[in-house]
Amino acid sequence: MELSAQMSMAPPTNGGKRRCSRPGLGDIHEDMLERVLARLPPASFFRLRAVCREWRAVAASPTFLDACARVPSRHPWFLMLSERPHPVVAFDAAGRSWNACRAPTGSMPVAASGGLVLYSVLATGALCVSNPLTGASRALPTPPQGPGVPQLHAIAMYGSPYRVALFTGELPDLSMAVFDSSEDSWEGPMPLARRSGTSSPDAPP
């Protein structure tokens, strides 16, 4: 890339010489900026969101969330819940501070991964994924179902881009459906076969 594309030229000064302005944070490539911001303590990042609209929009970027998930040795945040209608709060272990979080109305958290929380809507059982710090959320498509009304046994959330696994059915006929956020679709339900040599009727497949 030519230097002239990165520097702005100031009006001529003493002796007709031109002065080049120094490149600022606005000249950093978007991917590199997201990597830098992802390594900040969460509290510092959310204070810096007030700098400009572009930085504020970074929080909802899938590539920024992926960059956050790749940062090693990040201190955990502990989400505090209550049966009473109190606001959801999280404790920052690194900054030793309490932070208000945003949660979908009428829902309860059932799993978490990479700073995102999976909620189940109490009235309908629908699933949605939310960023508890920004309040950004998305509803997941209705998961596929086998014959009858399967009993839900477990929910797991993992990976980046994240996946959600639902385990349903009755022993010994258990099945699993997986939602892939990169494809925005469910796969399954797939039957879970019992391992050969398992004799206990209560043993998991």
Q: What is the value of pTM for the model shown?
A: 0.59
**What is Dmax (Cα atoms) for the chain?**
93
Beta carbons of 178 and 165 less than 8 angstroms apart: yes
Give the model's pLDDT for residue 147: 57
| 83-87, 151-155, 173-177: the lowest-pLDDT one | 83-87
Q: How far is CA 70 from the centre of its chain?
A: 12
Q: Which helix (H) or strand (E) holds 38?
A: helix 30-38
Contact 69, 160 (CB under 8 A): yes
Predicted confidence (pLDDT) per residue in 44-64, tens digit: 776 777 777 777 777 767 777
For 46: left if phi > 0, alpha if psi spans -120 to 50, otherwise beta; the answer is alpha
**Least confident segment among 58-72, 110-124, 164-178:** 58-72
Q: Which residues 6+ apart lie within 8 Å of 19 measured at CB?
A: 9, 10, 13
Tokens of 165: 């696994």
Choice between 49 and 157, residue whose per-residue pLDDT is larger? 157
